Structure formats: C-alpha cells, structure tokens
Amino acid sequence: MLTIILDGLAYGMVLFVISVGLTVTMGLMRVVNLAHGSFAMIGGYVAAAVVAAGYPFAAAVLAAMLSAALAGLLAERLLFRRVYARGELPQALLTFGMTFVTIAVLTMMFGSSIRVLPLPEALAGLIPMGDRQYPAYRVFLIVSGLVLSAGLWWGIEKTSLGAYLRAAVDSPRMAAAMGIDVQRLFAIVFSIGCALAGLGAVLGAGIMPLEPYYALRYLVLFLVVVGVGGVGSFRGSLLAAMALGMIDTLAKFYLPALSAYIFYGVVLGLLLLRPHGLLPRRNAR
C-alpha cells in the first residue's frame, strides 16, 4: 500500500509542476491557454536532444526550462498580446491552433518516435524502505515537487514580483498608473509558467512519456487540475494534483478496466460539489 501511495504522490507532483504554470496564465492573467502542453513538449524534446548529444541530465533540465521559457516569451509578445482583450473564444482558437503547429514542427524535427530521457545513475537505483525498495526517481519527484511548491508559494505571496502580479491582475489600469509595466510583467510571468511546464515534462518523462501527441494527450489532465483546484489558486492546484494523482493510481491498481471512468467520475462529482474549485481565489467565488 505504501508503494501505491508514493506512486500516487509522484504522479500528482508531475501534474502539479506542469499545471501550475497554466494556473498562473489562466487564473491570474485570465488567458485561455490551450497551448500549455506545447511548451511542456518543447522543453521535453529539447532536453531529450541535449541528453542524446552527451550532456548530463542537469544540463537537459536547464535547457528544457530555458527553451520553454523562450518559446513562451516569443509567443506572448507575438501572438498572445493580440488576443488578450478579445475574449475567450479567440484565445482558445489561437492556442489550440498553436498546439497543432507545435506538434507538426517537433515531429518534423525529431521524428514520430517516443523520446527517451535516460536517468542519471543517482536516480536510476532503488531506495530501501523497510522490507522493500522503491525507485529513487519517484522519491526525487516527490521531494522536487514539495521544494518547488514551497518556492512558488514564497515567490507569489512574499516577493515584490508576486505583489505586482496580484495588483496587475486585480486592477491593470491602477497598477499601470502606479508605475508597474503590466505588459512586461505579464511576459515575465508567462515565460516562467512555460519554464515550469518544460521542467515538469522532463521530470515526469518516466511517467508521462514524450511522444508526438504529448501536447494534446495530456492537455485535459492539465485543465482538470486547474479546474478542480480552482482557477488561479496555487494551493488549489497542488491539492487537486495530489488528490487526482492518488485517485488515478489507486483506480489503475485495483480496478484497471474502470480507472478512466472512476477518474473522470470523481472529477465530475468534485466540480458539481465545488464548481469554483476546491480552494478558489477569493474573487472567483
């Protein structure tokens, strides 16, 4: 049972790391970004190429975050700014189209096979846990997710960047009048969200393999985490990712034939009971 719980926590952490960037862009910046999985995919594919070139895993992680952040920054400046004020439908159509373009470009560049990210020796072994052993990689996922969540909470709640972001979201005109460069701030935050997506794609490649339709295959999961947790709620996304990761893992272990029905049935029930999410932002109620 301990192994199942740890598997669920590891899976939930991967969902959280990738989805938290979407929580920021959809909830705080109010952008319907259906291309979020594309930025994760870009980071993952770049990391796979870096590892294949003989560079260490740490370099691949850094390359993934930088490439996803750069792609996000370019997309925000060239495309997203044109649809910020045009409503949800233009944003959804633009970003959904971006997803197909990204899939086509990456498939053309890297081929249609699954991209493998070999783990470093330190993460490829097993860790003793009582009378059994558990993969060091999954323990690393859990610890990394906890450290990252603490860092993000501190960044959003305790730093000037987080304060500026909250002010810009609540009242962009007032924030601009106070000297905050709202467009520059949104570009920085958007690129950070994309960098986190790239990081999650690399760290979670052992659970969610990198393949040509990655951006579409897992998009629903990312949206579910944001919706169930509460759009714009950092703590809600963490809680939702942990809960859904655990539910999905338990269902696949005990009732594999019904696991998908159980997972989405629970999601439906949670959204009916808590339509604004488990821990919604105060102004979302």
Mean local confidence (pLDDT), 180-198:
87
Residue 121 lies in a domain: no
Place of tokens 């919706």: 227
- HEC assignment per residue over 102-156: HHHHHHHHHCCCCECCCCCHHHHCEEEECCEEEEHHHHHHHHHHHHHHHHHHHHH
Rg (CA), the chain: 19
Question: How much is the pLDDT for 282?
Answer: 62
Residue 8 lies in a domain: yes
**Domain count for the chain:** 1
Residue 129 lies in a domain: no
Q: In the predicted model, is pLDDT for residue 63 greater than 90?
A: yes
Question: How much is the pLDDT for 93?
Answer: 92
Residue 65: domain span: 2-113+134-284
* Percent of the chain's residues with pLDDT above 90: 47
Question: How much is the pLDDT for 200?
Answer: 92
Q: In the predicted model, is pLDDT for residue 229 greater than 60?
A: yes
Question: How much is the pLDDT for 47?
Answer: 95
Residue 180 lies in a domain: yes
Q: Virtual CA dihedral for 57, 59, 62, 66, nearest 10 degrees?
A: -130
Residue 122 lies in a domain: no
Q: How far is CA 223 from CA 2, 65, 121, 190, in A?
A: 28, 21, 34, 17
Question: How much is the pLDDT for 12?
Answer: 92
Residue 120 lies in a domain: no
Question: How much is the pLDDT for 242?
Answer: 93
Cβ-in-10-Å burial (0-12, 13-18, 19+) of 219 comes to buried
Question: How much is the pLDDT for 126?
Answer: 87
Residue 207 lies in a domain: yes
What are 168-181's pLDDT values in tens digits? Answer: 767 777 877 888 88
The neighbour count for residue 1, using CB atoms within 10 Å, is: 7
Q: Which residue has the higher pLDDT, 194 or 24?
A: 194
Task: Look up the CATH number of the domain holding residue 32.
Answer: 1.10.3470
Secondary structure (3-state) at 210: strand
Residue 126 lies in a domain: no
What are 10-51's pLDDT values in tens digits? Answer: 999 999 988 888 887 776 677 888 999 999 999 999 999 999
